[in-house]
Each structure stands twice: as C-alpha cells, then as structure tokens.
Amino acid sequence: MEDLHRGDKKRSSRSCAVKRPYKRAAIGHGSEPEVLQLEGDFFSTFQFEEGRVLGHGLSGVVVEATSVTNPQAKVAVKKFALLGSDGGIKKTDTFLKEVSIMQSVSHAHIAPCVLAARCPLYLALAMPLYSLGSLESQLSGLCPALARLYLSQIASAVRHLHLTRIAHGDLKLDNVFLMDAQHAILGDFGLAVRLPENSMGLVPASQCGGTPSYMAPEAKDAGDGYLVDPVKLDIYALGVMLWCMLVKVKASWTYDYLEETNTDPDVPDNFRPVLRRVLEPLPLRRANLDELVQALDRLQV
C-alpha cells in the first residue's frame, strides 16, 4: 500500500492509500518522466469514482475523482484521449512534457504530479484537488492585500520555473488554484516551454502558446520566424493577472491594460507603478521577476 498523495500535507490536505497493480513504463524517447503502465482503467485500478468535469483544455478534460473506500479523499485527473487521426502521438508528447515538468520541480506554490499513468485508451495525470477552485472563480471577493499576496506567491513559483529554464507559457487566473484563502497554487503546464541552453532565451513565436487575453504585444503581433522571450511573456501575463485581481474583471483581448492602468479609478494608486513596469509593451523595458517581487514586497496595502 502506498499513499497516492505521497504524504505531502503542504501540497494536499487529503490522501488515500491505493494498491498498485501496474508496472513502470517509459512511453516516449530520451529522458523520461515516471509514468505507470496500467493494464486497465485508471479509476477502477485505484478504486476511484469518476465525477464531475472540472475543466476542458486543448489536450483533454479534467475530472474530479473520489476514492470509493474513502469519500473524503479526492484528486483531479487530467485525461488525454489516445484516439485520434495521429494515434494520440501529439497528446502523448504533450502529456510527457507536462508530467516531466511537474515531476522535475518542487515548490510550495506549484501543483505537484501525484501520479501519471498510461491506460489502454487514455493517459492520466493525477493532481491534488483544490476545493476553492481557480483564482478566477474568486475574483469578486478579492481585495488589494489578497491580490498582492497571491501574485507574490505565483511570481515566486514562476521565478523558480525560470531558474530551471522553464517558462510556464499560459499564466492566467484560471490556471491558479486556491488551497485555502492564503495559499495560491500554479498549475497546468501543457503549454510550458523549456528554454534552450546556451542561448539568450529567445524562441520562435510559433513555439509559444498562451491565452490571447493574457498575451504580450510582441506575441500577438509576431510574424513568421519572429523570435520572442518566453520569460518576458510570462512577466506580462503576471501583470494582466494583477490588473484583473485589482479591478475584479476577467481578462479580455479588447483591453489595453496599460491604458486602463493609467485611467481606471478602480486601480489603487500605489499599484500603478508596478503595473506600468510589468505591462510595458517593449519587452526590453519590461520589469524582470526580481524587480516585480521586490516591488510587491515594498507595497503598503
């Protein structure tokens, strides 16, 4: 018997013991993440009941899973269907990248990979279930102090990723989850980018995904062959997240965030200098993460 949540109380408040009728398997090429090869279905193998849909993404669906033997024990499971015209090759690559990144980093504000498995019909990535849901779902109840707290925590998580040469690639309120009222957790690494070694960190814009309403100007306007800095794209997205939390509205591609920062009366005056630095249209003039974290620390709220 082994604890599916690996006994990490800081990462997840509930755990459940499961039997392991599987063998370990590598399903890609090169340096492999730890993936289990299951002979049957993930949910029946680990005695979980598949529940409500928590969200949809480009790669699959995320569902709630509840332990049959301990209904208080729950996890979120992202399912990557293997059926498709390419036999699931693209989704397998995405799955392996996401699992590899989640297993290679450890941070108090980054969602851990509880377990990754290959089933006959789909790939499964199990993560802690955060009962308060996404940060976007809690927008209406936020105050400036909580906005600063949550952004400081996520900025710390993103800084940790960048130090390991990983850019998240899809920072947004819907990819941040609340463990409780004081702890925000960054998740969803399906669009993360590994930065090339011995380079300036620039990659073709075509390799960067993201959500249009959080995209920096240089990514929105990028033409064929245009190079962008994924680290700077992450920083701009953090600025959009902060703006949305302060104004209590969801992001939209129709907003000029810098203009709104300067004119919207709902933006607290003491936050405007920080927002101007991270929402700077020119990437070379945009604040770096250390500057953002230091500015947040100095804020009086």
DSSP summary character for residue 25 = E
Q: Annotate 103-166 with DSSP letters as a single string.
A: HH---TTB----EEEE-SSEEEEEEE--TT-BSGGGGGG--HHHHHHHHHHHHHHHHHHHHTTE
For residue 93, what is the enclosing H or E element?
A: helix 89-104
The first and second tokens of residue 83, run together, are: 């059926």
Measured between alpha carbons, how far is 257 from 231 in angstroms, rounded to an integer? 19
Residue 278 backbone zone (phi > 0: left; psi -120 to 50: alpha; other: beta): alpha
Is residue 216 within 8 A of residue 237, CB to CB? The reply is yes
Instruction: Return binding residues.
Output: 79
The DSSP code for 180 is E
Q: Give 24's strand partners.
A: 36
CB 97 within 8 A of CB 90: no
- Tokens for 247? 């104004």
Strand order in the sheet with 74-81: 22-25, 35-38, 115-118, 122-128, 74-81, 61-67, 48-56
CB 167 within 8 A of CB 192: yes
Per the annotation, binding residues for ATP are: 79
Sequence-ordered list of residues with C-beta below 8 angstroms from that of 67, at least 6 positions apart, any chain: 16, 47, 48, 49, 73, 74
CB atoms < 10 A from the CB of 224, how many?
7
Matching residue, tokens 């920083």: 235
